[in-house]
């Protein structure tokens, strides 16, 4: 009998433990679901923050590469600008020789030096503008003066070039100084 009472009390304890654990689980379930939702929203926020940061870094990297390429492209601009007056002087010297037979050897030497210098600068991206006969463009040309002209087709066009203009990799580094027909 004693053993029967013991078994009954153990069964009651087991049943009461099961019901209390079920009630604990049922009360813990909403807490776990709320915690899961909070973790999911935090995870989404972190993913969004990561994607924005990654995108911002990629944009920074691309911009940095572009700026470096532009810097490399135009790094020699100051040096080339300093050399342009020398080229102008050489061109004037070549014109001054004219057809003088006595100075033919000197003319050949200066022509070789001039061509070598121009080819070296062209290899670095320098390109001379062609202006005569072109329509005046204030983005490329600097008008020195206007001259009356009889040919109607040349009105508003460049009739003479006082100083050559130059491009460095499609960027104007020196505007051409020109005379326009009026």
Would you state the structure tokens that stand for residue 28, as one six-digit string? 């813990």
Q: Look up the pTM and report it.
A: 0.58
Q: Is the pLDDT of residue 9 over 60?
A: no
Please state, in angstroms and rounded to a whole number, the distance separating the CA atoms of residues 168 and 80. 9
The per-residue pLDDT for range 105-146, each reduced to its tens digit, is 888 888 898 999 999 999 988 899 888 888 888 888 888 888
Contacts 24+ apart (CB under 8 A), 45-48: none
Terminal Cα-to-Cα distance of the chain (whole angstroms): 133
Q: What fold characterizes domain 125-182?
A: Nucleotide Exchange Factor Grpe; Chain A, domain 2 (2.30.22)
Which residue's structure tokens are 């001054």? 96
* 103 has pLDDT over 80: no
Which three-class secondary structure state does DSSP give residue 124?
Answer: coil
Domain ranges (residues) in the chain:
1-74, 76-124, 125-182
- 169 backbone φψ class: left, alpha, beta (φ>0; ψ -120 to 50): left
pLDDT in tens, 157-173: 888 888 899 988 888 88
Question: CA-to-CA distance for 173 and 182, rounded, in angstroms?
Answer: 27
Lookup: tokens for 7? 């078994």
| pLDDT one-digit tens code per residue, 84-94 | 999 998 888 88
């Amino acid at each position: 009998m004693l053993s029967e009472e013991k078994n009954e009390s153990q069964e009651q304890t087991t049943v009461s433990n099961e019901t209390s654990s079920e009630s604990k689980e049922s009360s813990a379930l909403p807490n776990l679901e709320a915690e899961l939702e909070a973790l999911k929203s935090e995870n989404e926020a972190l993913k969004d923050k990561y994607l924005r940061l990654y995108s911002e870094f990629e944009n920074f990297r691309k911009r940095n590469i572009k700026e470096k390429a532009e810097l490399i492209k135009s790094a020699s601009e100051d040096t080339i600008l300093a050399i342009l007056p020398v080229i102008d002087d050489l061109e004037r010297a070549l014109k001054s020789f004219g057809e003088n037979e006595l100075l033919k050897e000197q003319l050949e030497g200066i022509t070789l030096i001039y061509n070598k210098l121009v080819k070296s600068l062209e290899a670095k991206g320098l390109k001379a503008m062609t202006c005569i006969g072109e329509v005046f463009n204030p983005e490329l040309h600097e008008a020195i003066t206007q001259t009356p002209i009889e040919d109607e087709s040349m009105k508003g066009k460049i009739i003479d070039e006082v100083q050559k203009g130059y491009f460095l990799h499609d960027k104007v580094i020196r505007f051409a100084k020109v005379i326009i027909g009026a």
